[in-house]
Amino acid sequence: MHFSFDSDSFSLLCLGSFLLVFFVLTIIAIAYAAKRKKAIQEVAQKSGFSPAKDLPGRYQESLQAAYAPEDLRRVKPQWQKTYPEGTLVIFDSSIHKTSSDGDSNEAQRGNLALFSPLLDLPHFFIIPRLQAPLQLGNYLDQMMASGASRLGMSLNQSIPPEFDRVYLLYCAPEAASTALVPETALLYLAQHPGFIVRVHADTLVLSDPYASQRQALSTRLEENITVLREICVRFSARA
Find which of 33-37, 100-104, 118-122, 149-153 is predicted with most confidence, using mean pLDDT. 118-122
Does 3 score more than 70 pLDDT? no
pLDDT on residue 146: 72
Distance CA 179, CA 110 (A): 30
- Phi first, then psi: what are they for 123, rounded to 5°? -75, 125
Does 90 score more than 70 pLDDT? yes
Q: Which residue has the higher pLDDT, 16 or 46?
A: 46
Distance CA 196, CA 75 (A): 17
Question: What does the pLDDT look like over 219-230, one tens digit per residue?
Answer: 788 899 999 999
Average pLDDT over residues 149-168: 88
Question: What does the pLDDT look like over 34-65, one tens digit per residue?
Answer: 566 677 778 778 888 999 888 888 999 999 99
Give the pLDDT band (50/70/90) at residue 125: very high
pLDDT on residue 213: 47
User: How much helix, strand and coil, in percent to the nearest 5, is found in the chain?
Assistant: 45, 30, 25
- Rounding to the nearest 10 degrees, give the CA dihedral for residues 29, 34, 36, 37: 140
Does 212 score more than 60 pLDDT? no
Does 11 score more than 90 pLDDT? no
Q: Which residue has the higher pLDDT, 25 or 79?
A: 79
The answer, yes or no, to whether the previous bond of 69 is cis (omega within 30 of 0) is yes
From 86, 77, 85, select the one nearest 110 (Cα to Cα): 77
Give the SS3 label for residue 74. strand
Q: Which residue has the higher pLDDT, 71 or 230?
A: 230
pTM, two decimal places: 0.79
Give the pLDDT band (50/70/90) at residue 197: very high
* Residues with Cβ within 8 Å of residue 45, at least 6 apart in sequence: none
Question: What does the pLDDT look like over 177-195, one tens digit per residue?
Answer: 888 999 999 999 999 999 9
Distance CA 49, CA 46 (A): 8
**Average pLDDT score over the chain:** 81
Give the SS3 label for residue 234. helix
| Alpha-helix runs per DSSP H in the chain | 7-46, 57-67, 134-150, 161-164, 183-190, 217-236
Taking phi first (over 0 means left), then psi (-120 to 50 degrees means alpha), and beta for anything else, what does residue 16 get? alpha
Burial (0-12, 13-18, 19+ Cβ within 10 Å), 186: buried
